[in-house]
């Protein structure tokens, strides 16, 4: 059978997106999903996203990592799915949708998709790193000479290390540029490699930098290998709320594939 797919990217974080409102995708076929995401034997992507119906919201987001397993929230994926939903006529310039971590609101402003992330009320500060969950778990730490870092090697050591359980964590390496700009490189679990950008990762970095006093700004620019993202938020005592992830989300191509 021939299936239509769409390839989207948000600052280099790329996704295969499929319209599953008719519920005909083989959602339990982990091998198939991994093959579709394979860059040599499939379409190639950091993950696969399904657009599905929802009883009360505009749509449902179902996200799979490149290894074929359903995963936690993906910020850039959510932004790309909002752009796709507009293309498919599901929404106009505003959306409310449900992901694995709950309801999200989004706004499309020209080429920029703004996605409201979940509130964060728990940040763990350690001697050499910060840990927090922004829809996905993130280890955040400073690293000098970030450009020269072997992210795949260093990230895998932390992701699989004794600090975390079998599920592991995503790992973000950070270099401060100024009070409102930070460079970020991210190792993503499920991809098991560096990605050009990570939405929940840069969100975690922004909140972590504010939490540990590296900035007093509440609107930050995060520079990734795939481009710039912005994160804004409010800080109320121990909680970060009104957290927004902002950046471009672009259709790369549409195609058909058989299986």
Q: Which of 37, 198, 209, 245 is catalytic?
A: 198
Q: Decide if 15 contacts 251 (C-beta within 8 A).
A: no
Q: Decide if 248 contacts 10 (C-beta within 8 A).
A: yes
Q: Which two structure tokens, joined as six digits, stand for 259?
A: 């299986």
Q: Which of 49, 74, 83, 222 is catalytic?
A: 74
How would you write 169-185 as a 3-class SS string? CEEEEEEEEECCEEEEE
- Active-site annotation holds for 37: no
Q: Which two structure tokens, joined as six digits, stand for 99?
A: 């992901």
The owner of tokens 């930070």 is: 182
Strand partners, 255: 5
d(CA 198, CA 204): 10
Among residues 235, 154, 151, 196, the alpha carbon closest in space to that of 220 is found at 235
d(CA 35, CA 56): 33
- CA angle in degrees (0–180, nearest 5) for 134-70-83: 65
- CA angle in degrees (0–180, nearest 5) for 80-85-86: 100
Residues labelled as active-site residues: 74, 198
């Amino acid at each position: 059978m021939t299936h239509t797919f769409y390839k989207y990217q948000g600052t280099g974080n790329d996704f295969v997106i499929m319209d599953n409102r008719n519920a005909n995708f083989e959602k339990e076929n982990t091998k198939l999903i991994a093959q579709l995401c394979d860059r040599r034997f499939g379409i190639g992507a950091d993950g696969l996203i399904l657009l599905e119906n929802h009883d009360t919201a505009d749509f449902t987001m179902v996200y799979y990592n490149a290894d074929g397993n359903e995963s936690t929230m993906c910020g850039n994926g959510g932004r790309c799915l909002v752009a796709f939903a507009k293309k498919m006529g599901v929404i106009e310039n505003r959306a409310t949708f449900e992901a694995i971590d709950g309801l999200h609101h989004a706004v499309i402003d020209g080429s920029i998709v703004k996605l409201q992330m979940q509130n964060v009320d728990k940040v763990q500060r350690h001697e050499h790193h910060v840990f927090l969950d922004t829809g996905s778990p993130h280890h955040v730490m400073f690293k000098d000479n970030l450009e020269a870092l072997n992210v795949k090697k260093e990230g895998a050591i932390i992701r699989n290390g004794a600090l975390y359980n079998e599920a592991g964590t995503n790992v973000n390496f950070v270099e401060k540029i100024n009070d409102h700009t930070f460079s970020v490189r991210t190792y993503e679990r499920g991809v098991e490699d560096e990605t050009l950008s990570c939405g929940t990762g840069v969100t975690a970095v922004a909140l972590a930098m504010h939490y540990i006093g590296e900035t007093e700004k509440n609107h930050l620019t995060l520079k990734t290998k795939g481009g710039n993202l912005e994160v804004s938020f409010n800080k109320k005592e121990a909680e970060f709320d009104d957290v927004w992830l902002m950046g471009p989300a672009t259709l790369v191509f549409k195609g058909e594939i058989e299986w």
